[in-house]
């Protein structure tokens, strides 16, 4: 069996996504391919949560379409379905919903509304691979779904992503569109192999901040392959060589990673439980129990006061806190007009983006993190 089919088979063995899978250099490229397959074009509107990564609206804007943002619910960190109807117009062609941090979105309510308007839903499962909603896998509810296998995603191929669609017309459109995928260059995949090896052997709580700092710095100057290119964070012009396929290096790594994915998922859920118990005991904001069963706990969001200082203290204590999403369209802090969004119009998303930090769930030592939280409990909301 080809490497590509082995990887695809491994993916489907974890979540019954029993439909053809399409592989890409990054998850965002998969989204872009999907938007093209749905024939999204100038003046079309695509609805999405106002709490996401900037590369999501980018893919919409690259096609000349308009991103229409919706505020989130404070407990699920996902699109508030109550606001959906009001955002739908005659120009609405698609709705994108998300599994922020692995939390399920209220997909049934969203589907009820989308069906009544005959608007297809794409699930952004970049955080949600391995999670379920009402015992059905994330990514199996909408018309199509896309996933990410970037560094800090449910399982990692360095960078990477894939999509699945349940719509035969979209499948055949994708087959045509994918004929123009660019093949990753040898130097790119060689560099990715080196980065994957470095991460494997040097990744630890102690080295984490140094590694991230160097990675971000070098990737800014295109000296290593970054998750995002400078262009993607400065304006909404499509970068050169954007539409790239997945390399065999990524597929090979994906197969290795998926071998131990179930154990990782178990660890994430267990740590999620540990954090919830702790936060509940201290009467602090936590992921409600009712949302636990389905959560894949990619990471665990908490809300803090004086975040910059809280992060500084964490760095000193070698606690790997995540800083996403630190903006309504992470990591953008200025020039929001390029992405057609005003953070002030989305009070929940704006508030959370200013107060959230995420706790790692892929740790064997949650007690170290609890100790840190206990010591700094005054910062927690």
Ligand X SMILES: Cc1ncc(COP(=O)(O)O)c(C=O)c1O
Any idea which residue has 């170290």 for tokens? 368
Residue 100 gets the label, from left (phi > 0), alpha (psi -120 to 50) or beta, of beta
Q: Which stretch binds ligand X (CB under 6 A): 22-30, 251-259, 315-323, 340-348?
A: 22-30
Residue number of the CB closest to ligand X reads 27
Helix (H) or strand (E) holding 347: helix 347-355
Q: Which stretch binds ligand X (CB under 6 A): 26-34, 69-77, 188-196, 270-278?
A: 26-34
- Determine, following the binding rule CB under 6 A, whether residue 53 of this chain makes contact with ligand X: yes
Nearer to ligand X, 274 or 327 (CB): 327
- Determine, following the binding rule CB under 6 A, whether residue 56 of this chain makes contact with ligand X: yes
Question: Is the preceding omega at residue 331 within 30 degrees of 0, hence cis?
Answer: yes
Among 78, 144, 227, 250, binds ligand X (CB under 6 A): 227
- Determine, following the binding rule CB under 6 A, whether residue 298 of this chain makes contact with ligand X: no
Nearer to ligand X, 126 or 140 (CB): 126
* String of DSSP letters for 137-204: ETTSSSSEEEEE-STTSSS-SSS-EEEEE--HHHHHHHHHHGGGPBPPPHHHHHHHHHHHHHHHHH-S
- Determine, following the binding rule CB under 6 A, whether residue 232 of this chain makes contact with ligand X: no
Q: How far is the CB of 154 from ligand X (least distance, A)?
A: 11
Which of 182, 176, 147 shows the shortest CA–CA distance to 164?
A: 147
Nearer to ligand X, 22 or 372 (CB): 22
Nearer to ligand X, 53 or 72 (CB): 53
Angle at the Cα of 298 from the Cα atoms of 285 and 113, rounded to 5 degrees: 80
Q: How far is the CB of 268 from ligand X (least distance, A)?
A: 16
Cα separation, 161 vs 139, in Å, equals 13
Residues 250-269 that bind ligand X (CB under 6 A): none
- Determine, following the binding rule CB under 6 A, whether residue 150 of this chain makes contact with ligand X: yes
- The site for ligand X, by CB under 6 A, has a size of 14
Q: How far is the CB of 159 from ligand X (least distance, A)?
A: 6
Among 19, 58, 126, 249, binds ligand X (CB under 6 A): 126
Residue 295 in contact with residue 102, Cβ under 8 Å? yes
Nearer to ligand X, 143 or 273 (CB): 143
List the x/- string, 153-172, binding to ligand X by CB under 6 A: --------x-----------
3-state SS, residue 39: coil
Any idea which residue has 């015992």 for tokens? 135
Residues that bind ligand X (CB under 6 A): 26-28, 52-53, 55-56, 98, 124, 126, 148, 150, 161, 227
């Amino acid at each position: 069996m080809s490497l590509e089919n082995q990887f695809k088979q491994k993916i489907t063995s974890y979540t019954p996504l029993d439909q053809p899978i399409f592989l890409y250099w990054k998850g965002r490229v998969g989204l872009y391919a999907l938007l093209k397959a749905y024939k999204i074009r100038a003046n079309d509107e695509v609805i999405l949560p106002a709490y996401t990564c900037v590369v999501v609206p980018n893919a919409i804007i690259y096609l000349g379409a308009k991103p229409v943002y919706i505020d989130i619910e404070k407990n699920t960190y996902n699109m508030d379905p109550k606001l959906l109807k009001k955002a739908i117009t005659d120009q609405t062609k698609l709705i994108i919903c998300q599994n922020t941090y692995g939390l399920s979105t209220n997909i049934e309510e969203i589907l009820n509304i989308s069906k009544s308007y005959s608007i297809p839903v794409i699930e952004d499962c970049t955080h949600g691979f391995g999670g379920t909603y009402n015992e059905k896998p994330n990514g199996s509810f909408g018309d199509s779904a896309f996933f990410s296998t970037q560094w800090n995603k449910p399982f990692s191929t360095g960078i990477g992503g894939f999509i699945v669609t349940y719509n035969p017309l979209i499948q055949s459109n994708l087959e045509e569109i994918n004929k123009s995928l660019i093949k990753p260059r040898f130097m790119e995949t060689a560099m990715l192999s080196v980065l994957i090896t470095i991460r494997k052997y040097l990744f630890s709580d102690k080295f984490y901040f140094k590694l991230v700092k160097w990675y971000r710095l070098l990737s800014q100057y295109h000296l290593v392959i970054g998750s995002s290119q400078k262009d993607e964070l400065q304006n909404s012009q499509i970068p050169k060589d954007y539409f790239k396929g997945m390399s065999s290096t990524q597929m090979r790594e994906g197969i290795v990673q998926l071998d131990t994915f179930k154990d990782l998922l178990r660890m994430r859920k267990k740590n999620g439980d540990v954090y919830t118990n702790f936060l509940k005991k201290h009467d602090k904001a936590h992921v409600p129990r009712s949302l636990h069963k389905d959560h894949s706990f990619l990471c665990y969001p908490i809300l803090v006061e004086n975040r910059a200082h809280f992060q500084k203290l964490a760095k000193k204590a070698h606690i790997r806190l995540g800083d996403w999403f630190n903006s309504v369209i992470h990591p953008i802090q200025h020039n929001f007009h390029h992405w057609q969004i005003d953070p002030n119009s989305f009070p929940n998303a704006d508030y959370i983006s200013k107060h959230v930090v995420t706790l790692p769930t892929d740790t064997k030592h949650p007690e170290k993190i609890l100790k840190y939280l206990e010591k700094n409990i005054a910062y927690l909301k």
